[in-house]
Amino acid sequence: MIIKKTAAIGGGVIGGAWAARFVLNGLDCKIFDPHPEAERIVGEVMANATRAFDSLTDAPKPEPGKLTFVPSIEEAVEAADLIQESVPERLELKQKVHMQIDAAASEDALIGSSTSGLLPTDIQAKMMAPERMFVAHPYNPVYLLPLVEIVGGARSDPAALDHAHAAYEQIGMKPVRIRKEIDAFVGDRLLEAVWREALWLIRDDICTVEELDDIMTHSFGLRWAQMGLFQTYRIAGGEAGMRHFIEQFGPTMSLPWTKLMDVPDLDDALIDKIAGQSDEQAGDLGIRDLERIRDDNIVGFLHVLRDARNGRGWSAGKALKSYEERLKAMAANDV
Ligand SMILES: NC(=O)c1ccc[n+]([C@@H]2O[C@H](COP(=O)([O-])OP(=O)(O)OC[C@H]3O[C@@H](n4cnc5c(N)ncnc54)[C@H](O)[C@@H]3O)[C@@H](O)[C@H]2O)c1
């Protein structure tokens, strides 16, 4: 199934970036968001996305699709092949929005939710045709980072998940199917563990937010970006490999190193402290400045990873390589 028309329901941080990925990949997108400034916000995301996409690849890019703001969910979804819901993370709201999508979408439309952690079984509970609904959880910035976690609910049709897999590949992404439906899937489960520990470290004055970010960005962050966790630790085990690594560091798991079982109280004092230190860290840089710096760095990493191993590519660079091959094949077929 080739996707031609898309719909974005919600045009915030994530929905606006989905719309950008769709449009920059030549797909028309109808977007609905009741926010009075939705057009301005999506316009700013689109400008940064276009800038990043231009530098991502020299492969021939499709003519951008058309982005249209519409006044209702029904109008957005009626002719769409792929519908992406990115409304705020509240189950009742998601259920209501999915009932509206369900009633107006064509029967073979694919309906993905961007939820960060709600179960697809719960989101699809009130739909008449839930078999076409699934979670498609992206990572910010959606227009650059390739990963999308695909999670089916109890009533999702496995064939719809296969179609979704192909659809997200069509727009340059790396879909990973999560084998069992769990809260927060895989990525956010990992991120929440790190986030919770970081909150303790700030609360207990062990470091500032800037020092914590320095510790991450100058060390394991660089390793994780290109080899993940397990392959990194395989190397850390030296010639004896993974078994040796586990034998060496396994016992530390029972030492009181982390506080992961407890949640710090997010009281006003802790929120003020984090927000204040974060303002200081950002200095004069506004959100759109930080987005551009982040995007340039990600594009640079992706280029390094694409060209690694004498051009054979490595990890996320392989996803960019396959995407470029697809773009070239599409351009050749047009000739
Ligand atoms: N921010 C992230 O890093 C991130 C990453 C991955 C997934 N997500 C998920 O994406 C979803 C959206 O998150 P976000 O960060 O973009 O939030 P956001 O607050 O930036 O955007 C949500 C948008 O939805 C709009 N909205 C509210 N009610 C609506 C309705 N009935 N119909 C259409 N639009 C409506 C709001 O006006 C707002 O613009 C959430 O489920 C979140 O968990 C967020």
Q: What domains are defined for the chain? A: 5-177 (3.40.50.720), 187-334 (1.10.1040.10)
Element (H, E) at 149: strand 147-152
In which region does residue 147 sit, left (phi positive, over 0), alpha (psi from -120 to 50) or beta (all else)?
Answer: beta
CA of 216 from ligand 1 middle (Å) equals 27
Q: What pLDDT, on a 0 to 100 scale, did the predictor assign at position 257?
A: 77
Phi, psi angle pair for 278, to nearest 5°? -70, -40
Which residues on neighbouring strands pair with residue 7, listed in sequence order? 30, 83
Probe ligand 1: pick from 114, 185, 188, max atoms within 8 Å of CB?
114
Q: What pLDDT, on a 0 to 100 scale, did the predictor assign at position 236?
A: 85
Is residue 32 in contact with ligand 1, taking CB distance under 6 Å? Answer: yes
Which string of DSSP letters, residue by residue, matches 174-231?
EEEE-SS--TTTTHHHHHHHHHHHHHHHHHTTSS-HHHHHHHHHTTHHHHHHHHTTHH
Is residue 172 in contact with ligand 1, taking CB distance under 6 Å? Answer: no
Alpha carbon nearest to ligand 1 atom 8, residue: 116
Q: Which residues of the chain have pLDDT under 50?
A: 335
Is residue 13 in contact with ligand 1, taking CB distance under 6 Å? Answer: yes
Q: What pLDDT, on a 0 to 100 scale, did the predictor assign at position 243?
A: 87
Q: What pLDDT, on a 0 to 100 scale, did the predictor assign at position 184?
A: 95
Kindly compute the dihedral angle of the four CA atoms of residues 223, 13, 192, 228, in this order, to the nearest 10 degrees. -20
Is residue 141 in contact with ligand 1, taking CB distance under 6 Å? Answer: no
Is residue 10 in contact with ligand 1, taking CB distance under 6 Å? Answer: yes
Q: What pLDDT, on a 0 to 100 scale, did the predictor assign at position 149?
A: 98
Element (H, E) at 136: strand 133-138
Strand 133-138 and strand 110-113: pairing? parallel
Q: Which of 45, 23, 42 is nearest to 32 (CA)?
A: 42
Is residue 97 in contact with ligand 1, taking CB distance under 6 Å? Answer: yes
Q: What pLDDT, on a 0 to 100 scale, did the predictor assign at position 250?
A: 80
Q: What pLDDT, on a 0 to 100 scale, did the predictor assign at position 220?
A: 94
Q: What pLDDT, on a 0 to 100 scale, did the predictor assign at position 259?
A: 75
| H-only helix segments in 57-129 | 73-77, 91-104, 120-123
Q: Can you tell me which atom of ligand 1 is nearest the CA of 89?
A: 41
Q: What pLDDT, on a 0 to 100 scale, did the predictor assign at position 248?
A: 83
Q: What pLDDT, on a 0 to 100 scale, did the predictor assign at position 308?
A: 96
Q: Can you tell me which atom of ligand 1 is nearest the CA of 38?
A: 39
Is residue 36 in contact with ligand 1, taking CB distance under 6 Å? Answer: no
Asked whether 81 and 4 are in contact (CB, 8 A), the reply is yes
Q: What pLDDT, on a 0 to 100 scale, did the predictor assign at position 240?
A: 81
Q: Can you tell me which atom of ligand 1 is nearest the CA of 87?
A: 24
pTM as predicted: 0.93
Is residue 65 in contact with ligand 1, taking CB distance under 6 Å? Answer: no
Q: What pLDDT, on a 0 to 100 scale, did the predictor assign at position 241?
A: 80
